[in-house]
Amino acid sequence: MSKKSKIIFPIVWVILGAIWAFAFFAFRTSYVEIFPKTPYEVYAPSDEALGGGSSAQLAVVDTAIYASINIRSGVAYPYAGIGFNLMSVNKRPAGFFDFSKYDSIAVVTSVDRMRYVQLRIWNDDPVYSKKGNPFSYRPLNYSFSATFDEVEAKAALRDFKVPDWWLAAQGLDKDDGLTFFHRGVFLEVVNGEGILRGIPDSIMLKSIRLWGVNRDFEKGMFFALGLWVVALIAFVVVLVRKKPESAELVKRMEKAAKLLKTTDRSIAEIAITVGEKSPSSFERHFCKIYKQKPLEYRRKNA
């Protein structure tokens, strides 16, 4: 390896490492905004389809969604609020929404009277979900406290739980721990505990966003990091394995160089004088030290 290569390689290696670090921390996180910049269909979920009497009226503007709700009697759990059809993108049918790409969710809301707001994710369950029956989808709930002031609440998706009433409806004794986050269908913001039945209330939604580690990107970056480390190891191995020329060889070639400059002896004679076995081995060793053949050296230095 040449002296120039020994300088250039470490510089390139450091630059590539800096680029890797920047890309890893800048693009590692996946991010999606459900609202306000939403391509999803907005609807007013309620328990009416389950035989309940709760209702919701929505007013959608660019920066907020206002839900006027009235919670009355209901089956299992009376609710009403704001929903997003994640399978309708820009008013066109779409596939499942993959919540498994994200780790956390944040929502900004304010309310009138209720004390809690509930986030609900409906996922398609390959066993229990039935086409045309949205309430057969598997719900995963998370409740957070809410006030009249706009407050951002954050939650990890792993903290969402299947409600007991849905498990009972499916004949399950306990939560089976399944989520099917990769098969998301709906996302809803509905009333939580502490709401007064029969008395109008409201939910104002300002934003919903999801974020998490982009695992496919992370895998690719770790693969690139492995190549980066391998390149360094290879460079070090080449340096370590490169045997420095012995002092004895250098000394003999220095003597040969002096003879080439100060005498007119033949290459064969000089080779024998400096202890080489043959002119060819002499030429090889001389080129190794002086980077040129003996005759060329003589012409330049005579």
What are the DSSP E strand ranges found in 18-54?
29-35, 40-43
**Contact of 65 with 148, CB cutoff 8 Å:** no
Average pLDDT across the chain, whole number: 88
**Contact of 202 with 136, CB cutoff 8 Å:** no
Say what the pLDDT of residue 194 is. Answer: 74
Q: How far apart are CA 81 and CA 215, in angstroms?
A: 33
Q: How far apart are CA 254 and CA 258, in angstroms?
A: 6
DSSP letter at 78 equals -
The shares of helix, strand and coil residues in the chain, as percent rounded to the nearest 5, are 40, 30, 30
Say what the pLDDT of residue 74 is. Answer: 59
DSSP letter at 126 equals T
Q: How far apart are CA 239 and CA 3, in angstroms?
A: 11
Residues 147-150: contacts with CB within 8 Å, 24+ apart? 147/110, 147/111, 148/110, 148/111, 148/112, 149/110, 150/108, 150/109, 150/110, 150/204, 150/206
- Its pTM stands at 0.70
DSSP letter at 90 equals T
**For residue 106, what are the β-bridge partners?**
154, 209
Say what angle helices 279-290 and 247-262 make with each other, to 10 degrees.
100
Listed as ranges, residues in the chain with pLDDT below 70 are 1-3, 74-76, 240-245
Q: Look-up: residue for tokens 């390896």?
A: 1
Query: Residue 29: which of 286, 209, 151 has the closest Cα?
Result: 209
Q: Which residues contact 248 (CB under 8 A, 6 or more apart)?
A: none
Say what the pLDDT of residue 166 is. Answer: 87
